[in-house]
Amino acid sequence: MEFVVRRAEVSDAAAACETIRRSIVELCVADHAHDPDILARWLASKTLENVADWFANPQNHCVVAVAAEPFAILGVAIIRRPGEITLNYVSPDVRFSGVSGAMLAALEDIARRHRWPDATLISTTTARRFYRGRGYMETGPPMNLFGASRSFPMRKMLRDG
């Protein structure tokens, strides 16, 4: 499958929001176990308005993975100063196709260009192995986010010093 990772635009917000919501509902079952309360809390901020605001916020560096034919937002990822990755979601239609890895590489490149020494994130149980496989290490005890079972603070050094 061919796709490109590019800077997100506010006009991408509707399709990006749908991708984020589908990813949470369909791919993160190990985290929410179809619990409607957990899902409601997790999805509460994933609205068209909020995604558009995230994309418009100059503090955020937002990327999308896009397929050209037919046009589709395959993934959405955001990093902000000082290297905090706030989300990295992929469409269930393209899981394990390299989309998440390509977006993560783009975020890490952004962090390196800004000379941020590391990238940090809080991983779901679902994504934990993915991040470990890309050099992220756990930095503390598991957390409870949105009522989900366990979330893991992680960090990857991007440069010395």
Positive or negative, the Cα torsion across 62, 75, 126, 115? negative
Under 8 Å CB-to-CB from 2, ≥6 apart: which residues?
Answer: 67, 68
Which residue has tokens 């589709």?
Answer: 72
Omega before 92 cis (within 30°)? no
Q: Which residues of 99-138 are buried (b: 16+ CB within 10 A; e: fewer)?
A: bbbbbbebbbebbeeeebebbbbbbbbbbbebbeeeebee
Distance, in Å, from the CA atom of 116 to the CA atom of 152, rounded to the nearest integer, reads: 21
**What is the pLDDT, as a whole number, of residue 71?**
83
Q: What is the pTM of this model?
A: 0.93
**What is the pLDDT, as a whole number, of residue 70?**
84
Positive or negative, the Cα torsion across 55, 74, 63, 153? positive
Omega before 82 cis (within 30°)? yes
Half-sphere exposure of 29 (CA within 13 A, CB side): 4
**What is the pLDDT, as a whole number, of residue 161?**
46
Give the 3-state secondary structure of residue 31: helix
Provide DSSP, 77-95.
Answer: EEEETTTEEEEEEE-GGGT
**What is the pLDDT, as a whole number, of residue 68?**
79
**What is the pLDDT, as a whole number, of residue 160?**
58
**What is the pLDDT, as a whole number, of residue 149?**
63
Q: Which residues of the chain have pLDDT under 50?
A: 161
Identify the structural domains of the chain with CATH numbers, from first to last: 4-157 (3.40.630.30)
